[in-house]
Amino acid sequence: MFCPNITSDATMIFNRYIGIDYSGAEVPISSLKGLRIYETYRLAPPCEVAPPKSPRWYWTRREIAEWLVAELSAGPPSIVGIDHGFSFPLRYFQKHGLPLDWPLFLDDFQRHWPTDDQYTYVDFVRDGIRGNGAARSGDSRWRRLTELHARTAKSVFHFDVIGSVAKSTHAGLPWLRYLRQHLGSRAHFWPFDGWQVPPNTSVIAEVYPTLWNKGFPSEGRTRDQQDAFAIAEWLRLNDSAGTLSDFLCPILAPADREIAEIEGWILGIAPTPPWADLKASTRIQ
């Protein structure tokens, strides 16, 4: 289905809204039912984006990354919500002696977890067949500050459970690096590149569709389709209502904001006071 490019409200930040439901299954060139993209413009409801024409029925992780590079390079200012973790808890940085620098984190992670290699499963790295995951492991008890605020979000190291975000995160992080390398200043990785978004710039942000997917009628969509739909529609509706800018600059205590600039933040999570109830277990040293 074609999504018409309808624009009407000059007060809106973006022209296009893209929701991606992610999957860390199999390898980057595997066609996966769990990989879905929905997009919408300012006045149109979201519709599903079909994968490139091929014998495969579904998207691959590589195809999604290549599609995003092409679309964000040529298209109007867009905001992209992707359903996997964008960074790790501070405990991970401290355990491995890493600088508190997100681009360097992506480089270091990809060296140890080369899950963008076309024949590498996440479990190959976990099992020591590829890469060196043992040197860059985490603990399923560690949670990011944003996950504590989200309440139901699982740790990015919590593998082998239903609804695990760990596998999709470990599969997706090297592709964020790919996007950053190929898009440069055309894409703003929120909040790592700053909480304020430059004018006429596309944004790529972490989202958690569980927060929104039950708020929209499913209309026959599968769970993966509904998640991608809900991301795109939530982004569009909040930009139309003038509230998206508030979510892009959440009110955080100064120490928590400093943490979020390394650990990342789930777009749409509003901090819940009192602050003391959700203090991170480890602060920036």
CA distance 277 to 167: 29
Of the candidates 175, 225, 186, which has an alpha carbon nearest to the alpha carbon of residue 66? Answer: 175
Segment 234-242 long-range contacts (CB within 8 Å, at least 24 positions apart): 234/19, 234/81, 234/268, 235/14, 235/17, 235/19, 235/79, 235/81, 236/17, 236/40, 236/42, 236/46, 239/12, 239/13, 239/14, 239/17, 239/42, 239/79, 240/9, 240/12, 240/42, 242/11
pLDDT reading at 43 higher than 90 = no
Q: What is the pLDDT of residue 55?
A: 85
Which structure tokens are listed for 212?
Answer: 């929104």
The strand order across the sheet containing 78-82 reads 47-48, 36-41, 16-21, 78-82, 202-206, 187-189
Q: What is the pLDDT of residue 270?
A: 80
pTM for this model (two decimals): 0.91
pLDDT reading at 282 higher than 50 = no
The residue count for the chain: 285
As a whole number, mean pLDDT of residues 139-152 equals 94
As a whole number, mean pLDDT of residues 174-182 equals 98
As a whole number, mean pLDDT of residues 253-270 equals 96
Could you tell me the pLDDT band of residue 11, with boundaries at 50, 70 and 90? confident
Farthest CA pair distance, the chain = 54
- State pLDDT tens for residues 80-91: 999 999 999 999
Q: Pick the most confident of 157-161, 172-176, 278-282.
A: 172-176
CA distance 250 to 230: 21
Q: Name residues whose C-beta falls within 8 Å of residue 140's C-beta, 6 or more positions apart in sequence.
A: 155, 157, 158, 159, 166
pLDDT reading at 201 higher than 70 = yes
DSSP 3: P
Q: What is the pLDDT of residue 278?
A: 39
CA distance 84 to 72: 19
Name the burial class of residue 114, with classes exposed (0-12), middle (13-18) and buried (19+) by CB atoms within 10 angstroms of its CB.
middle
Q: What are the distances in angstroms from CA 50 to CA 36, 70, 134, 216, 257?
A: 8, 15, 37, 21, 38
pLDDT reading at 218 higher than 90 = yes
pLDDT reading at 234 higher than 50 = yes
Could you tell me the pLDDT band of residue 271, with boundaries at 50, 70 and 90? low
Q: Which residue has the tokens 């710039």?
A: 201
Q: What is the pLDDT of residue 283?
A: 34
> pLDDT: is 183 or 54 the higher one?
183
Q: What is the pLDDT of residue 5?
A: 38
Which structure tokens are listed for 272?
Answer: 């819940």
pLDDT reading at 162 higher than 80 = no
Amino acid (1-letter code) at residue 95? K
Which residues share a beta bridge with 229?
A: none
DSSP 88: -
The tally of CA atoms less than 13 A away on the side-chain side of residue 118 is 4
As a whole number, mean pLDDT of residues 4-15 equals 63
Chain-wide mean pLDDT for the chain? 91
- State pLDDT tens for residues 119-138: 999 999 999 999 999 999 99
